[in-house]
Amino acid sequence: MTEWFNSLADTFYRCFIEDSRWKWMLEGLGNTMIITVFALMIGIILGIIVAAVRSTYDMNGAAMKKKGGPAYIFLRIGNFICNLFLTVIRGTPVVVQLMIMYFIILINVTNGVLVAIIAFGINSGAYVAEIFRSGIMSIDEGQIEAGRSLGFNYIQTMIFIIIPQAVKVVLPTLFNELIVLIKETSVAGYVGVMDLTKAGDKIRGRTFEAFMPLFAVAAVYLVIVIILTRILRIIEKRLRKSERR
């Protein structure tokens, strides 16, 4: 029993203490968080733009077609581009997109973390767009009619009435996207970025121990996700205060 414990302590020492290997884990965790947070920011901005175009087309396209004019043509082109973007981004694996970004498109950017932020941000944007669109479409049409009849124009109705309600609807799904994104960034190692998974890999490669580094990496991801889930639960509770159920 003590022998087993000693060997465990020895493995722990080799994996994390020797050569200050824990610093790799810390650096990796830092990069994972940086990539996730900034990618989600890009994702949300991109997502709102795409969702706005797509839902406007879905809701008003038919009416505008009758009227015609340049506004309708712009909207149609915008909708086509957004659809193409969604199809391509959602239809290809994120690892492939990341490598295309790193080796082909962003060839002049030497900072791997920045490339990863952009690649994951664009990827996330496609998913966030559909999340937002479903949120906007889920709000009852009567809400728009009510807003318009009170003298708001279309954009005002959107900003003051529809979007606040939509955010509440999409928040759990958006949070889910954040959780998925954190774990997706584990492929950043493909382009030489030292993220949490790569840090574990590096320790594995140096010590030839599989158990300790892999479980440590898994545990760190798990703890982050558990914390985020807790936060989400608190936010949801607060938002539910206004509901009559």
Partner 1 sequence: MKKTFLSILAALICMTMVFSMTAFAAEAAPVSTVEEGVLNIATNAEFPPYEFKEGDGFAGIDIEIAGAIAEALGLELKVNDVEFGSIIGGVQSGKYDIGIAGMTKTEERLQSVNFSETYAIGVQVIIVKEDSDIQTADDLVGRKIGVQQDTTGDIYCCGDFGDENVTEYRNGAEAVQGLIAGKVDCVVIDNEPAKSYVAATEGLKILDTEYVTEEYAICIAKESEDLLAAINGVIKDLQESGKLQEIVDKYISAGEEAEEEESK
**Site residues (vs partner 1, CB under 8 A):** 1, 4, 24, 102-103, 107-108, 110, 112, 189-190, 192, 194, 198, 201-202, 204-210
How many CB atoms are closer than 10 A to CB 173? 15
Q: Which is nearer to partner 1, 63 or 208 (CB)?
A: 208
Q: Which is nearer to partner 1, 130 or 201 (CB)?
A: 201
Q: Which is nearer to partner 1, 155 or 210 (CB)?
A: 210
Q: Which amino acid would we find at residue 117?
A: I
Shortest Cβ distance from residue 201 to partner 1 (Å)?
Answer: 6
Strands (E), the chain: none
Shortest Cβ distance from residue 203 to partner 1 (Å)?
Answer: 10
Shortest Cβ distance from residue 62 to partner 1 (Å)?
Answer: 47
Shortest Cβ distance from residue 104 to partner 1 (Å)?
Answer: 8
Q: Which is nearer to partner 1, 33 or 106 (CB)?
A: 106
Kindly give the residue spans of alpha helices, DSSP state H, lying in the chain.
Answer: 2-12, 22-67, 70-91, 94-100, 112-138, 141-149, 154-157, 163-184, 196-207, 211-239
Q: Which is nearer to partner 1, 168 or 202 (CB)?
A: 202
Shortest Cβ distance from residue 15 to partner 1 (Å)?
Answer: 12
Complete DSSP assignment for 24-91:
HHHHHHHHHHHHHHHHHHHHHHHHHHHHHHHHHHHHHHHHHHHH-SHHHHHHHHHHHHHHHHHHHHHH
